[in-house]
Structure 1
Amino acid sequence: MDISVVIPLYNEDESLPELVAWIDQVMQANRFSYEVLLIDDGSTDRSWEVIAELKEQYPAVKGIKFRRNYGKSAALNVGFAACRGNVVITMDADLQDSPDEIPELYRRIREEKFDIISGWKKKRYDPVTKTIPTKLFNAATRSMSGIKLNDFNCGLKAYRSDVVKTIEVYGEMHRYIPVIAKWAGFNRIGEQVVEHRARKYGTTKFGFSRFINGFLDLLSIFFVGKFSKRPMHFFGTLGVLSFFIGLIMALWIIGEKLYHLSAHISYKRDITDQPLFYIALVAIIVGSQLFLTGFIAELVSRNAPERNEYLIETTID
């Protein structure tokens, strides 16, 4: 099969018939063999009934329904596990992504040998309250990951099947799939300017909390990708630095006190009267705790069943 189109959705019954008809038109015009996986993320409207009706009209349509709303990442992860196409296209169900982009995305994956092509909605129709935070997150993600993409959160992306069968998406990490893929060894990541259409039906399903969750997930991605198999390198380094900074402060205070005593210089302040003493004490305690945290995390990591699981691309016997 050439293409799998994975579409997570939540309360999008109005847009689904138009979207599926559009996808079918594009696929037929380009003679692609395809499937459309509609992942109903616990919708409370008629979305599932519409999916059943579309299945009768379009044999390529497949549906998966969650019992409750788990989020876009969960829907994508389930869709990735179920899809069978050589190239996997993800897009939103609200008609803000154009299926006309699919042939070029497919061509670049197949001919230019990219692992991922991420869409870039260069001209957006979102309000300022959404575009400004998005730009800040994109800048932070570029800086932390080293991946030069302008729009990590664009729902329109294309993947080689190996990518989606290897990675795991959870939490709010759907916006960081290129980062997850890079940590998994898929480094050929490209970008393509795509059309962003104004929302035709319904309202957005994402609130302000997604920005907070997104930032926390970015930190998780960064830590797990770099230190999941060597947590002592992270916690131990911070712990040793904190401990020695506190130790130097403590030795300075003690040395200053001994100097004044040996020189018979009047020095009325006790060691415990100085704020630096408490800063040094806290630094030493925190450093010790961080070091012990790294040591315990290292023991957990070494006893994890997947501690020696590595992604092998190919072998020669």
Structure 2
Amino acid sequence: MPNTSSTPDLSIISPVYGCKGCLEDLVERVAAAVAPIAASHEVILVDDGSPDGAWGRILELADRYPAVRGLRLSRNFGQHAAISAGLAHANGRRVVVMDCDLQDVPEEIPKLLEALRDGVDIALASRADRQDSAFKKAGSRTFYRLLGWLTDSAHDPSTANFGAYSRKVIDAVNAMPESDRFFPLLVRWTGFRTTLVPVTHARRTEGSSGYSLRQLVRLAMNIALSFSDKPLRLVVKTGLAFAFLSLCVVALSIYRYSIGDIAVAGFTSIIASIWLVGGAIVSSVGVVGLYVGKLHGQAKHRPNFIVAEDTLAAS
């Protein structure tokens, strides 16, 4: 394996969670794949509170392979925070982000890097034939459809984090102060020229996905609150719908009273008034509450991750 320099030609970032047994294979296959096309490279493995004791394995690999750098986060901050930690410590002119479970095939990296030319700064891996279970595919489709609906934007379920990025893209993403991180949307927001590269997708050989369907739905909601104002508009529309419904009830009550169908007037109009006021309150409190909640989280200026150990600092 080539030695890393202070400014390697290529940085490969992989968040690690629950795939301890894949790491050596990942490091060796990455080295073999990039050796013909990169003068030097570094592999940054970010232990995101992996429950299988992956940090010990990362320490072994960092000791054996000079190109490997390990970061251990103080706890589980989530996949996208772990990616952010890797990006913050990456020095390469070009950067590849990939999962550690080898479903993102290391041998496809040269194809992604080859696409970074002629003004292209982002090369996203497109997994046309995903080798996942039917449940995971359904969960992924649900996630992207919900995310697309909540953010009023199209999301390609064949793409994820796996891709190659120029240095200016990574610098732009690192400069973003958001406390809620979702790497694909941050990359898309930069607006740099993007291309899709068809790649092979492998089956998972170890561990299981860290995302359940419930977690994916929660992630989609959290992303929507951070990257779109559509949830706020939905709350307003809900309040307006209640108000419209109350007006319909009032109109119906007046009609029934005019034809003598209501003996005692007043009850229906009171209920309609309550619905009208309640709808307005729900809209106002919902809008203010969501804004205040996000502002409160952002105003604390807490870091997106905490690095507890760094093999480069320890060496």
| 2:48/2:78 contact within 8 Å kept | yes
Structure 1 position 220, deviation (Å): 3.1
| 1:239/1:286 contact within 8 Å kept | yes
Q: Which residue of 1 aligns with 2:77?
A: 70
> Which residue identity is paired with 1:64?
L
Q: What is the aligned-residue RMSD (CA, Å)?
A: 3.6
Residues 39 and 119 (structure 1), Cα distance of their counterparts in 2 relative to 1, 3 Å cut? same
Structure 1 position 170, deviation (Å): 6.7
Match of 1:87 among 66, 69, 94: 94
Q: Which residue of 2 aligns with 1:315?
A: none
Match of 1:186 among 191, 195, 220: 191
Q: Which residue of 2 aligns with 1:268?
A: 263
Q: Deviations over 1:100-121 (max 9, x none)?
A: 221221232343423x333222
| 1:117/1:158 contact within 8 Å kept | yes
> Which residue identity is paired with 1:249?
C
Structure 1 position 129, deviation (Å): 1.6
Q: Which residue of 1 aligns with 2:143?
A: 137
Q: Which residue of 2 aligns with 1:20?
A: 27
Q: Deviations over 1:169-192 (max 9, x none)?
A: 877x64xx323433x443644322
Match of 2:46 among 27, 32, 39: 39
Structure 1 position 238, deviation (Å): 3.2
**1:214-253 alignment runs, 5 A limit:** 214-227=216-229, 234=233, 237-238=236-237, 241-242=240-241, 244-245=243-244, 248-249=247-248, 251-252=250-251
Query: What 5-or-longer segments of structure 1 have no aligned partner?
Result: 307-317
Structure 1 position 62, deviation (Å): 0.8
Match of 1:166 among 139, 164, 175: 175
Residues 54 and 99 (structure 1), Cα distance of their counterparts in 2 relative to 1, 3 Å cut? same
Q: Deviations over 1:230-249 (max 9, x none)?
A: x9x73784376246425623
> Which residue identity is paired with 2:263?
K
Structure 1 position 148, deviation (Å): 4.9
Q: Which residue of 2 aligns with 1:203?
A: 207
Find the residue that maps to 2:108 and give its secondary structure.
helix
Q: Which residue of 1 aligns with 2:283?
A: 290
Structure 1 position 88, deviation (Å): 1.9
| 2:11/2:41 contact within 8 Å kept | yes
Residues 111 and 295 (structure 1), Cα distance of their counterparts in 2 relative to 1, 3 Å cut? same
- Percent identity, please: 22
TM value normalised by structure 2: 0.75
Structure 1 position 254, deviation (Å): 6.0
Higher relative contact order, chain-length normalized (CA < 8 Å, sep 6+): 2
Query: What 5-or-longer segments of structure 2 have no aligned partner?
Result: 1-7, 300-315
Residues 282 and 188 (structure 1), Cα distance of their counterparts in 2 relative to 1, 3 Å cut? farther
Q: Which residue of 1 aligns with 2:125?
A: 119
